[in-house]
Amino acid sequence: MIIRYRDVWKAFDGPVLTGVDLGVEKGEMFGIFGPSGTGKSVLLKTTIGLIALDRGDVEVEGESVYYGDRKALRRIRKKVGYVFQHAALFDSLSVYENVEMGVPEDELKHLSRREGTRKIWEALELANLEPREVLSKIPAELSGGMKKRVGIARAIVGRPRILLWDEPTTGLDPVNTIAVERLINQLSDQLKVTSVIVTHDIEGGLAMCDRVTMLDSGRLRFVGTPEAFRQDGDQVVRAFIHRSSAEAALAEVSHR
């Protein structure tokens, strides 16, 4: 297992995660589904210690996220690229500086300006952006789809072994949604990374992922292959699939 969630508990005003146990295998693309507010993004954030846990632990390549020292956490974060739901680009920095932030600090110190630029250039190209056009722009000058791609470039520029995707297609039109899904597939193949994807887009997620899970009321309702998920007899799972399909159809109609 490359990622192991062990008895993860988290509550804010009410319980969010209630004893989640889950493992992600090396090299697989793993999808996390579930209704809004069930703790999908919270679970993803615990992978690199962005949220303090009430109980439990997460291990990445055997190292503890919550019980290790600061150096261990830094090592883990170096191995992991995180794509935020709304890109979370740094407003005051240019695209160049934003992507440069993704290069680990100790590596950046040993890179010449030219080598650094080449690295950033490659990451932007991998994210299907034309570097010449965007490098000097600030996030406010980019479209939603472009921001997302810059966020992806920032996540992959450090050549991580694991990519975490938090709702990568949320807020995008159907054309951009398909493009980003293709990009996720393409990057997973090219970079040979393990991907964990939190998504509302059930059809897209099922088509991309090797295994999926469904979170409901802070607990795992299902873990298995996409085929098994489609055929699962659990009423909650079935209701979720039907509701999500209906919402997706509605969204497509409203975009036309």
Partner 1 sequence: MESISAPTPALHLRPLAIVGRVFGGMAEHAGEIWSLLVSSAMAVATLQVSLRSVMQQVYVMGVQSIPIVLVSAVLAGVVTSQQGGYQFQGSIPLYILGSVVVASVVLELGPVLTAIVLVGRVGARITAELGTMQVTEQIEAFHAVGRDPIAILAAPRIIAGIIVVPILVGIADIVGILSGMVSAQLTTGLGPESFLYGARLFWHSWDLFYSLMKAGAFGFAIPVIAIHMGFRTVGGAAGVGRTTTASVMFMTLTVLILDAFFPPLFLQ
Q: Tell whether residue 82 is a contact of partner 1 (CB under 8 A).
A: yes
Which of the stretches 24-32, 50-58, 175-183, 194-202 binds partner 1 when contact is defined by CB under 8 A? 50-58
Residue 113: both structure tokens together = 């300006």
Residues contacting 26, CB < 8 A, separation 6+: 1, 2, 194
Residue 114: both structure tokens together = 């030219």
Q: Give the H or E element holding residue 162.
A: strand 162-166
CB of 17 to partner 1, least distance (A): 9
Q: What's the one-letter identity of residue 174?
A: P
Q: Which of 62, 69, 71, 91 touches partner 1 by CB under 8 A?
A: 91
x/- map, 143-182, partner 1, by CB under 8 A? -----------x---x------------------------
CB of 178 to partner 1, least distance (A): 25
Distance, CA of 49 to CA of 66 (rounded, Å): 7
Q: In Å, what is the CA distance from 69 to each residue of 63, 64, 73, 104, 116?
A: 10, 9, 7, 18, 29
Distance, CA of 219 to CA of 217 (rounded, Å): 6
Q: In angstroms, what is the C-alpha Rg of the chain? A: 18
Q: Tell whether residue 54 is a contact of partner 1 (CB under 8 A).
A: yes
Which of the stretches 48-56, 120-128, 194-202, 221-229 binds partner 1 when contact is defined by CB under 8 A? 48-56
Which 1-30 residues touch partner 1, going by CB under 8 A?
9, 11, 13-15, 18-19
Residue 108: both structure tokens together = 């950046």
CB of 10 to partner 1, least distance (A): 8
Q: Tell whether residue 88 is a contact of partner 1 (CB under 8 A).
A: yes
Q: Tell whether residue 48 is a contact of partner 1 (CB under 8 A).
A: yes
Q: Using the minimum distance from each CB to partner 1, give the nearer residue, 74 or 182.
A: 74
Residues contacting 207, CB < 8 A, separation 6+: 181, 226
Q: Tell whether residue 39 is a contact of partner 1 (CB under 8 A).
A: no
Q: How many CB atoms lie within 10 A of CB 227?
A: 9
CB of 56 to partner 1, least distance (A): 10
| Binding site residues, partner 1, CB under 8 A | 9, 11, 13-15, 18-19, 45, 48-50, 54-55, 74, 77-78, 80, 82, 84-86, 88-91, 101-102, 104-105, 154, 158
